[in-house]
Amino acid sequence: MGTPRARKSDGTGYKSGRNKIITHPRRKTMAGKKRPVSKQILAKAGQLHVGIDLHKKFLQVAVMNQNGTMLFEDRIDNDWDVIKKFFARFPQDSRYVVESSSVWYGLYRYMTDKLGMDVTVSNPFVNKVIATSKKKTDKVDARILADLDRGGYISECYVPDEQTVENRRLTRFRHKMVHMRTACKNGIHGILLQDGIKIHATNWTAMYMIALHRLKNYRIEGYLTEIESFNKIIHDLDYKIRAITSASEEACRLKTIPGVGDYTALVMTAEIGDKSRFLNSHQLCAYAGIVPSVRNSADTIHHGNITKRGSKMMRWALVEAVHTHVRRFPETDLSIFYKRLEKKRGRSKATVAAASKLLRIMYWMLKEGKDFAPNYSQSHKPREDVEGKPR
């Protein structure tokens, strides 16, 4: 047998064969200690595509050049000082891809605002459809992100500005506080039901609270203490929300809709974010997850339940607004639409359809800068195609 042909170097300092991934990137010294790839070697590799599989405690990093050669992989602690030191040797034109997760936002802001890095937040739902793999590991995920970015196939997530994120945190925190207060109230109801105690007063009025204190039940007293604490927190949050909505032109416009108050208006503006990214009202409804799922095969088309792919807070706020609107303002076009559909399809489907219609109304109000009118309808709007252009 002849001497095996030597593999060519790609200029990065690592010899690689065709379609071969180098999985042992670090060179060992004589003492057996590992040392990272130098800044000079990375600079010779051209533009780098870095896939980052983000976790709470660590980051799995995969570095790939423009030719698709894996230069090296590493795992580092999820610590900002460690991250800064690790990526300091990378060229300025390097591209970084982070998959959206529960801990992505702080790292994204640090890498973009503090370190000036070009970071893309990938949509995990879309990208996993593109790069399906039976082997699911941290290394594989990081490699796939780097490779998709190299080929231009990354589906990018929308990253709202800092004020929008803060408004989302505010509204969601209030929602959680109300939920916890409701759990305490339900706990009191459960105790009264178990002990067979009946209080002849409207729930949570002054007389009702006096009757609860007279029972001198330590469990009830504990719940009442928690409820009082939650009431104070919610009151302070409502004050902040009113201050923000009064200064927001879009929130004030949404408040002209009957059934939409300060809280609902702030929820909608915060969850929608930049309205210009939606070409038409249907895209906004799809973003909120209140459009029916569709399965199409040949001549068979099946419409299923709503997708529920968007923000839960947005869907919840829309449903609550519809209930209030229909109950208190029965003469508007939206209420008439709801009642007509309720007779045919039932209350549940009528609520979802009315919520979708309400979101479309909100979209046109924000886009055209108009306040709500009781006879506001989209029937006068030109029909839109999939690209958002009138037909």
Res 386 pLDDT > 60: no
259 and 381 both lie in a single domain: yes
215 and 90 both lie in a single domain: no
314 and 365 both lie in a single domain: yes
- 381 within some domain: yes
Read off the pLDDT of each residue in 46-63 and give the average, rounded to a whole number: 92
* pTM (2 d.p.): 0.81
94 and 167 both lie in a single domain: no
- 50 within some domain: yes
Residues 254-275 have pLDDT tens digits of 999 999 999 999 999 999 999 9
Residues 185-239 have pLDDT tens digits of 999 999 999 999 999 999 999 999 999 999 999 999 999 999 999 999 999 999 9
Ramachandran bin of 32, using left for φ above 0, alpha for ψ from -120 to 50, beta for the remaining angles? left
Res 55 pLDDT > 50: yes
How far apart, in whole angstroms, are the C-alpha atoms of residue 41 and residue 53?
23
253 and 366 both lie in a single domain: yes
267 and 287 both lie in a single domain: yes
CB atoms near residue 350 (< 10 Å): 20
CB atoms near residue 61 (< 10 Å): 24
Which residues form the domain of 381?
249-391
Per-residue pLDDT, 383: 47
How far apart, in whole angstroms, are the C-alpha atoms of residue 321 and residue 313?
12
Structural domain tally of the chain?
Answer: 3
Q: CATH number of the domain that 78 lies in?
A: 3.30.420.140
Res 388 pLDDT > 60: no
Q: Which positions ≥6 away from 230 have C-beta within 8 Å?
A: 177, 178, 180, 181, 184
Which residue among 186, 217, 247 closes a domain? 247
- 21 within some domain: no
Which residue among 100, 124, 151 closes a domain? 151
- 391 within some domain: yes
Which residue among 199, 220, 247 closes a domain? 247
How far apart, in whole angstroms, are the C-alpha atoms of residue 318 and residue 305?
17
